Structure 1
Amino acid sequence: MPIKVLFESENCTWIDVIAPSAKDLEELNVKFGINELLLQDTVESNHLPKYDEADGVKFFLARENVSTGRKNLNTISDVSTKLGIFISKKFLISVHRLPTSSIDNALLEVNKSYEIASSITPDRIALMIGLKILQTFDRENERILDIMDKLESNIFLGKGMKQDLIKSLYRIKRKAGLNLRILNISSDWVSNFNKLNLEHVEVMDLVDKQKDAIADYEHLGAQVTNLIGMFLALSDQRNNEAMKILSTFSIYFLPITFIAGLYGMNFNHMPELNYKYGYFICLGVMVLVVIITFIYLKRKKF
């Protein structure tokens, strides 16, 4: 994709590159003097967040949360995409493989501040982008919480326990764990914002935003774990109730089956078989056993 200028003023030029080709990377290297190895980091799919500096250019490699809809959630690439930010005194270059909401939202904020263009510097744009990146994790956290509320209602108020629920909970747990990992390893680029020409309060606002996001995902992970535990406990309880019903029927029919089996034996001498009222007496005994069993179970509140 062609190199695109998003914002330009006397103090700052913001250049954005989406899905750079080898030719684009070479042009960035030649025109802006950006280290070749740092440019390669922006196209490596599973590269971790980092901060580096070379030839007077500061490099922040962050990861932004994205909803990819992938079935497998094994690596951080399944829930996020890279965003590289190169900063010098006069320019900022953002490089990313996919369109990102953080770039779009930061650009809107820059355009709103166009009247005070003199205050817009590469460092300040980088701070805007950094805050927007962390906000993507906040939005994902809110979306997952909404899904969890629906799943919780289905678990406690729904009819029957569907196996799809446990699959959904497991996916949420995997997603929360991967996002938490990204946020933890993002400390490298977040903490190095103090090397930019920004006020200490502004940098601490970014650091606090990261800490809040980490705390939210830790709490989310604990909630999912508890909900999975409740789901399994309720499943066991319902299975136990079913076994209780079967056991109750067994208690009633076991003595009756014993009597039927006793008189079903093929012996030649069984006096009761020839007795005129033997059949009715046998039925009466069976009914009496059922009544006694019922009264016993009723008193035991079984």
Structure 2
Amino acid sequence: MPIEILFKNTNCEWIDVESPTEDDLAYLHERYQINTLLLEDTIDANHLPKFEQDGNINFFLMRENTQSERFNLNTISDVSTKLGIFLMDKVIITIHRLNNRSIYEFKKEILLPQNEDITRDRIALNLALKVLKSYDDESKNLMEIMDQIESEIFLKTTNHSNHIRRLYRLKRKSGLNSRILNISTVWVEKFKMLDLDDSPVTDLKDKHKDVIGDFDHLNVQVASLISMFLAMSDQKANQVMKVLAIYSMYFFPITFIAGIYGMNFHFMPELSLKYGYYITLGIMGIISLITFVYVRKKGW
């Protein structure tokens, strides 16, 4: 997508670049004297959030949550996408590799009458708030998924056998988002350097603390749910072993007697008795009944 001017007034000019090419980056370097290393950071898929100042240029590198369902959850690029913001004089330049929801939403809002005299720093602040809101939305989404899995596990409303896999993916997504948010403290704190009132900057910091708290809570809840699921699985296995052990108690003495009479000795007691077979079966039945009464009395 070519370099596009999204907004312009007497206070500032907002330039947006989506999926920049090498020619686009070269133009930005020549036109605005932006360091090429900073420009390269905006196209590095796995670059961490940061803030850097180079002369009169303030560079914010943010990462917005994408709420994507990728197969692999190994790196921060699997759950987020970058948004680079350059602030200089009366110009703000935003650079991003993929379609960015924050840009898409705010370029509509900026045309509203109340934003007619908006400044460069105010645009950056609004974009930052939308970036953090993307994590707010994601935390709510993951919490709903966790509640659904929890209901399936404890209420047994489904027979899914992949609970542990879903919990693992939930844990991975939550952990990656937490990592991004903790590192984002670097650029959130730097908004106090801009020409902004204390109140909106405080709102930004509060939103940042809120989403960090949400994901910390989610991490704890997921870890607890995984532990409970494994404990319930172990309990179920123990219950099966308990039933098998009880059946073994019933059949062990009977098997012992049957084994004795299966040795085929010529002279054995009760072999010549007319009712020896029934007497032996009766003894087996009495032993089984005694075993049953004993087990019930013990509450096994």
Whether TM-score is above 0.5 comes out as: yes
Report the CA distance shift for 1:116/1:66 in structure 2 as closer, same or farther (over 3 A).
closer
For structure 1, the 5+ residue unaligned runs are none
User: 1:82 touches 1:97 (CA, 8 Å); kept in 2?
Assistant: yes
Letter in 2 for 1:83: L
2:214 aligned residue:
216
Aligned partner of 1:270 among 251, 255, 268: 268
**Counterpart Cα distance in 2 of 1:140 and 1:126:** 22
- Cα RMSD of the aligned pairs, angstroms, is 1.3
Report the CA distance shift for 1:132/1:152 in structure 2 as closer, same or farther (over 3 A).
same
1:199 aligned residue:
197
Equivalent residues, number:
300
Letter in 2 for 1:146: E
**TM-score of the aligned structures, taking structure 2 as reference length:** 0.97
**TM-score of the aligned structures, taking structure 1 as reference length:** 0.96
Deviates more, 1:33-42 or 1:102-111: 102-111
SS at the partner of 2:180? helix
**Counterpart Cα distance in 1 of 2:151 and 2:115:** 50
**Counterpart Cα distance in 1 of 2:172 and 2:105:** 28
Letter in 2 for 1:16: D
1:60 aligned residue:
60
Q: What does 1:134-145 correspond to in 2, within 5 Å? A: 134-145=132-143
1:281 aligned residue:
279
2:259 aligned residue:
261
User: 1:63 touches 1:80 (CA, 8 Å); kept in 2?
Assistant: yes
User: 1:64 touches 1:133 (CA, 8 Å); kept in 2?
Assistant: yes
User: 1:34 touches 1:55 (CA, 8 Å); kept in 2?
Assistant: no
User: 1:35 touches 1:55 (CA, 8 Å); kept in 2?
Assistant: no
User: 2:17 touches 2:96 (CA, 8 Å); kept in 1?
Assistant: yes
The CA deviation at 1:7 is 1.0
The CA deviation at 1:277 is 1.0
Task: Write out per-residue CA displacement over residues 66-103 of structure 1, whole angstroms, 9 at most, x where no aligned residue.
Answer: 13322221111111111000112211110000111111
Report the CA distance shift for 1:12/1:226 in structure 2 as closer, same or farther (over 3 A).
same
User: 1:151 touches 1:165 (CA, 8 Å); kept in 2?
Assistant: yes
**Counterpart Cα distance in 2 of 1:217 and 1:195:** 27
Deviates more, 1:176-185 or 1:243-252: 243-252
Answer yes or no: is 1:185 the counterpart of 2:179. no
Percent sequence identity over aligned pairs: 52
2:116 aligned residue:
117
For structure 2, the 5+ residue unaligned runs are none
Q: What does 1:1-302 correspond to in 2, within 5 Å? A: 1-112=1-112, 114-118=113-117, 120-158=118-156, 162-302=160-300
